[in-house]
Structure 1
Amino acid sequence: MLLRVHVAAVEPLARRTRRIVLAGEPLTGLAWTPGQNVTVFLADPTSLASWRHGPRDLKRSYSVWNYDPAGRLELAVYDHGGESPGASWSRTVQAGDGVIVTKPDGRLVARPGASLHLFAGDDTAAVPLGAILRSLPETARCFAVFECNEPADEIPLPGASTPTWVHRHGASAASSALLPAAVAGLDLPAEPGVAYVAGEARTVQAVRDHLVNDRGWPRRDVLTQPFWTPGKRGLD
């Protein structure tokens, strides 16, 4: 189902992340679990002219930062740079613009009953993983490591655990060795828990391989979600 809503506010959340607040009656009473995303249509999908560049340029998936059942849904959109359709939309969208979105969906959500929660991701992953982290009770046992370029790129992540941030200082975010090394340096309990790993595809794979091969975590307990990778249309 497509929901026609409007942009209520746009403001910076960090140096390269914008908080985009959507509002409208179609957003009332939706089912949302922290960690889920919505699809944002960058042009009207009911118009044939919108499809001339292909479906991958027509839409992007963005994680939900927060949701109010009264009819407000917040996105936190990271700007990768460049002139991709998603980046251009996030830079130019403003209050009053109309937007078409889908209902929240996705399986990157907290696993009930986990004895330990481990979060690891880059700038793009901090949004859904931060939403999950914020939703956990204060008694939850959590470890969280996030990677970004500089301290000014950190987004606020209140929740059950204070996350550790590591900084690239200009190094590439693709195939980053920084995040896997930070996870490897954690003093984790011997008993595995559930890991939520998201961000750049090859970095996600490296973190998963460390947890499974080096620490002996069951693969089924390492939940992964690649959000982007260089040069792949639709993942930018």
Structure 2
Amino acid sequence: MKRATVIASERLTDRFRLITLEGAALKGAAWTPGDKVQIAMGSAFVARTYTPIEWNAAAGRMCILGYAHGDGPGGAWVRTVRPGDECDIFGPRGSLDLRRLSGPLAIFGDETAIGLAYAATRQEPRRVLSCHFEVGDLESARQVAVELGLDDAALVERCPEESHVAAMAAALPDLAAAGASFVLVGKAGTVQTLRRALTLPASRLLTKAYWAPGKTGLD
């Protein structure tokens, strides 16, 4: 467990915040883009998982893109956290090792995957990256994507009947034919649907369900 202090919380949109944390315990940490941390929400037994988008091991400073997904502890923390607040952090720990994927990279996810995509650009700025996100608010997500330099991200508005997932899946064949490796993250149902549409060796694919409706504990 590492103690850290929030030193900045920048509001990008109503639901998105860039949150920077700093602490002596964060110095020297071995971090790779795609790694995760868990932040305790007032108790070691209630924590939420985030993908740091930057980590300065020399300064003991990390940054996350927080998305207030709902009304639970994680959403409340993202909305209300302020500079000076302290918290306990577990990690960083391995989650998605983007280094093992070769060739162009295609990331499919939702609002919770935008930070991962940004971290990927920091790791290999010259790597060809294609981003495809299902989102609830197109304008808000576009604003955040542009803020993080992901101007070309393809955004699809989420539909209650999930018909939008077919539009995302339609992009898979051309990317696969071009030699892309895939990262499928975010909502469990979408990850499963897209995974079934791909017939690729494990060396070209990483998957991780971050959340599912009505469930907690996924990361």
Q: What TM-score do you get using the length of structure 2 for normalisation?
A: 0.86
Match of 1:158 among 149, 152, 158: 149
Gaps of 5+ in 2: none
Match of 2:56 among 56, 59, 68: 68
In 2, distance between residues paired with 1:81 and 1:105?
Answer: 25
Tell which structure's C-alpha radius of gyration is larger. Answer: 1
Match of 1:218 among 167, 180, 201: 201
Structure that is richer in helix per residue: 2
1:201 matched to 2:188 = yes
User: Aligned to 1:202, what secondary structure does the other structure show?
Assistant: helix
1:48 is matched with none
Cα root mean square deviation, aligned: 2.3
Q: 1:220 to 1:35 in 2, by over 3 A?
A: same
Structure that is richer in strand per residue: 2
What does 1:131-210 correspond to in 2, within 5 Å? 131-138=119-126, 140-149=127-136, 150-154=138-142, 155-156=144-145, 157-158=148-149, 162-168=152-158, 171-172=159-160, 176-185=162-171, 187-188=174-175, 190=177, 192-210=179-197
How many equivalent pairs are there?
Answer: 213
**Residues 126-162 of structure 1 deviation map (CA, whole Å, 9 limit, x = unaligned):** 1123311332231x23322122122222323426x83
Q: Indicate the percent of aligned positions where both proteins have the same amino acid.
A: 34
1:51 is matched with none
Deviation for aligned residue 1:176:
3.4
Could you list the structure 1 runs, at least 4 aligned residues long, displaced by more than 4 angstroms after superposition: none
Q: What TM-score do you get using the length of structure 1 for normalisation?
A: 0.80
Gaps of 5+ in 1: 46-54
Q: 1:64 to 1:113 in 2, by over 3 A?
A: closer
**Residues 46-71 of structure 1 deviation map (CA, whole Å, 9 limit, x = unaligned):** xxxxxxxxx3xx11111112112211
Deviation for aligned residue 1:165:
2.0
2:216 is matched with 233
